[in-house]
């Protein structure tokens, strides 16, 4: 399993932390709790670049028996891939630290936590490899002082994405009206294995134009990136304005638009 796991029993307490997985999951029953209302990153996709750790917030509700002390267990959100959530999930991401919970009644806790996402090459604790970008399921877990673990999956889903960059350069500048403008650029995205940006191949990208004085871009045509992520196409100069490329995004990669490049038409 490539992803961080947790579960530490120490001095009668369990900490959710960036630690090694136990040799075998304890047979002790986990806390008799259920989870609901899990929201990770306010419901938005999680976008990770090449080097920096990305930390997002999660909120969730824990329902417990009235006679179960909130101090007797700790909880946290989890992202997973595979049929079920647990130590045997295909991939698993769990918060470094346990959630912080506040009792709203004798049976309900309102909780919040942070989850960290680290590209593999960042340091020895790096988690993510590029092939893990895409859809992840959401769940949560609770751990008690006896190493008992309660897992609950099926609490939603999110997209874990590789940050993208996009450039555009229009030339010549200036240009005579009616003449040809060539617009070049490149679409790249984070490679979590190497901590670099690499070209995103064969992706549809829109060439757009915004007339000087306007705030709206209009799509002129759609072309595909090359095998190395580069872009090149031509258009006819008509009036002063800005040219840019715009990428709608995929499951693994967020949308991105290049900064507009101004061309003076004479």
**Amino acid 256: pLDDT:** 98
Q: 148-191 pLDDT, tens per residue? A: 899 999 999 999 999 999 999 999 999 999 999 999 999 999 99
For residue 140, pLDDT over 60 is answered with yes
**Which is more confidently placed, 14 or 65?**
65
pLDDT at 147: 76
Q: Mind listing the pLDDT tens digit for each residue in 46-66?
A: 999 999 999 999 999 999 999
> pLDDT-derived band of residue 209, with 50, 70 and 90 as boundaries?
very high
Q: Give the pLDDT of residue 122.
A: 56
Mean pLDDT (whole number) for 89-113: 94
* Per-chain mean pLDDT for the chain: 89
Q: What is the 3-state secondary structure (H, E, C) of the chain?
A: CCCCECCEEECCEEECCCECCCCCCCCCECCCCEEEEEEEHHHCCEEECCCCCEEEEEEEEEECCCCCCHHHEEEEEEEEECCCCCCCCCEEEECCCCCEEEECCCCEEEEEEEEEECEHHHCCCCCECHHHCEEEEEEEEEEECCCCEEEECCCCEEEEEECEEECCEEECCCECCCCEEEEEEEEEEEECCCCEEEECCCCEEEEEEEECCCCCCEEEEEEECCCCCEEEEEEECCCCEEEEEEECCCCCCCCEECCCEEECEC
Please give the model's pTM, rounded to 2 decimal places: 0.86
Mean pLDDT across the stretch 190-204?
96
Can you give the pLDDT at residue 87?
Answer: 81
């Amino acid at each position: 399993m490539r992803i961080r796991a947790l579960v530490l029993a120490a001095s009668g307490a369990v900490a959710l932390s960036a630690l090694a997985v136990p040799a075998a999951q304890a047979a002790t029953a986990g806390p008799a709790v259920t989870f609901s209302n899990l929201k990770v990153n306010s419901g938005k996709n999680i976008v990770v670049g090449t080097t920096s750790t990305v930390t997002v917030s999660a909120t969730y509700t824990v329902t417990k028996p009235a006679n179960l002390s909130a101090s007797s267990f700790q909880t946290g959100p989890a992202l997973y891939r595979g049929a079920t959530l647990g130590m045997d999930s295909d991939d698993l991401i769990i918060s470094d630290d346990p959630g912080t919970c506040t009792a709203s009644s004798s049976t309900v806790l309102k909780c919040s936590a942070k989850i960290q996402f680290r590209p593999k090459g960042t340091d020895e604790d790096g988690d993510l490899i590029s092939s893990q970008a895409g859809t992840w399921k959401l769940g949560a877990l609770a751990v008690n002082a006896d190493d008992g673990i309660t897992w609950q999956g099926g609490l939603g889903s999110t997209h874990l994405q590789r940050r993208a960059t996009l450039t555009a350069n229009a030339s010549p500048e200036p240009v005579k009206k009616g003449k040809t403008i060539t617009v070049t650029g490149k679409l790249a995205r984070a490679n979590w294995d190497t901590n670099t940006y690499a070209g995103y191949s064969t992706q549809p990208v829109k060439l757009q134009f915004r007339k000087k004085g306007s705030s709206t871009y209009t799509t002129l045509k759609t072309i595909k990136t090359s095998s190395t992520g580069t872009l090149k196409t031509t258009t006819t100069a008509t009036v002063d304005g800005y040219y840019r490329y715009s990428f709608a995004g995929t499951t693994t990669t967020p949308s991105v638009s290049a900064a507009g490049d101004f061309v003076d038409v004479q």
